[in-house]
């Protein structure tokens, strides 16, 4: 099962203790992935379609638990996909409480976001990328859901894709927070573990890359220094150099890969890193001047 499916399976089994939270969750499911209308007699009707049986079962249970209202169910098979779709329909003015519910309390907002995810949400595999989204068919519903998510200190955004409005989060830390808001504690822990491993791996890679870059820099500098010293030797010889520069030149040729600190230690008397670097720069300047002549 995908990570997204695991989150949905965890949330399907959660039921709020308060009726107002059930109303909020039902409202999200039916607004995001359902439809409200009125029959010829002006009675409110609602329809909800899904290919996910556990979600259909939860919607059925929530409606029965909240109103004890009759549910009309139509089941169809898609022979091309080999899947089943479930259409749930209700009729009654009790549905107005779901259609017109005002979601204000924090507990109800959590239930609403959970219902929206169950209806049309997904999370990418965190081993590959961080992406959380809920698909809304109407712009006003997307903005309503976006504002509700952002009341928890998150930064949900909206993008249009194939005539749908996608409310999404892309940062790992924010996806962890929204899973916590919805009550997906097991999924949250799994995502956190993956994030920690990825951050540790990235930290090690950065350190290795940094050390590799430093080694390359040292080796490159040593090669350049050696080339300058050989050029001086071949053009004018070391006898025309001051003793201090002659000593460092001979030391570099004897120890071509040694870092500056180790190179200074073999001199008599020993020389510090900055002193070695200064003398090598002098040799480089002499080599450059000879090349320009």
Alpha-carbon distance 137 to 173, whole Å?
Answer: 27
Separation in Å, CA 108 to CA 19, 52, 217, 276, 277: 10, 23, 59, 70, 68
Give me the pLDDT at residue 131, please: 95
Summary mean pLDDT of the chain: 89
pLDDT of residue 28 exceeding 90, the answer is: yes
Long-range contacts of range 266-272, CB-CB < 8 Å, 24 or more positions apart? Answer: none
Alpha-carbon distance 8 to 30, whole Å?
Answer: 17
276-292: pLDDT as tens digits: 888 888 888 888 888 88
Give me the pLDDT at residue 271, please: 87
| End-to-end Cα distance, the chain | 74
pTM for this entry: 0.71
193-219: pLDDT as tens digits: 888 888 888 778 888 888 777 777 777
Give me the pLDDT at residue 196, please: 84
Separation in Å, CA 143 to CA 37, 140, 156, 157: 22, 5, 10, 9
Alpha-carbon distance 252 to 225, whole Å?
Answer: 8
Tokens of 228: 């300058």
Residues 6+ apart with CB under 8 A from 119: 28, 29, 32, 33, 34, 48, 50, 55, 134
pLDDT of residue 248 exceeding 80, the answer is: yes
Cβ pair 116, 145 in contact under 8 A: yes
Closest CA to 227 of 271, 289, 265, 283: 283
At residue 35, what are phi and psi to the nearest 5 degrees?
Answer: -155, 135
73-124: pLDDT as tens digits: 999 888 777 788 999 999 998 899 999 988 999 999 999 999 999 999 999 9
Alpha-carbon distance 223 to 280, whole Å?
Answer: 12
Give me the pLDDT at residue 203, please: 79
Give me the pLDDT at residue 40, please: 87
Q: Strand, coil or helix: what is 42?
A: coil
Identify the bridge partners of residue 73 per DSSP, sorted by sequence position: 88
Alpha-carbon distance 156 to 85, whole Å?
Answer: 30
Tokens of 80: 């091309």
Cβ pair 222, 254 in contact under 8 A: no
Give me the pLDDT at residue 239, please: 85
Give me the pLDDT at residue 44, please: 93
């Amino acid at each position: 099962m995908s990570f997204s499916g695991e989150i949905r399976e965890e949330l399907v089994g959660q039921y709020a203790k308060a009726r107002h939270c059930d109303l909020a969750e039902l409202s999200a499911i039916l607004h995001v992935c359902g439809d409200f209308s009125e029959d010829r007699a002006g009675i409110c009707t609602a329809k909800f379609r899904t290919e996910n049986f556990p979600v259909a079962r939860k919607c059925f249970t929530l409606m029965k638990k909240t109103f004890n209202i009759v549910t009309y169910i139509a089941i169809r098979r898609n022979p091309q996909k080999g899947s089943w779709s479930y259409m749930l329909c209700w009729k009654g003015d009790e549905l107005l409480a779901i259609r017109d519910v005002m979601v204000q309390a924090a507990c109800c907002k959590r239930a609403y976001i959970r219902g929206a995810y169950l209806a049309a949400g997904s999370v990418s595999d965190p081993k590959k990328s961080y992406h959380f989204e809920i698909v809304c068919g109407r712009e006003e519903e997307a903005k309503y859901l976006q504002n509700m998510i952002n009341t928890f200190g998150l930064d949900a955004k909206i993008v249009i894709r194939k005539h749908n409005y996608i409310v999404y989060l892309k940062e790992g830390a924010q996806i962890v927070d929204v899973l916590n808001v919805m009550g997906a504690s097991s999924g949250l822990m799994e995502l956190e573990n993956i994030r920690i491993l990825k951050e540790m791996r990235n930290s090690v890679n950065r350190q290795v890359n940094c050390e590799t870059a430093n080694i390359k820099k040292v080796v490159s500098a040593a090669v350049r220094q050696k080339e300058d010293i050989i050029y001086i030797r071949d053009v004018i010889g070391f006898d025309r150099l001051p003793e201090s520069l002659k000593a460092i030149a001979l030391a570099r040729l004897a120890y071509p890969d040694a870092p500056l600190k180790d190179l200074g230690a073999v001199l008599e008397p020993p020389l510090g890193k900055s002193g070695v670097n200064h003398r090598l720069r002098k040799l480089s300047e002499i080599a450059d001047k000879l090349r320009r002549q």
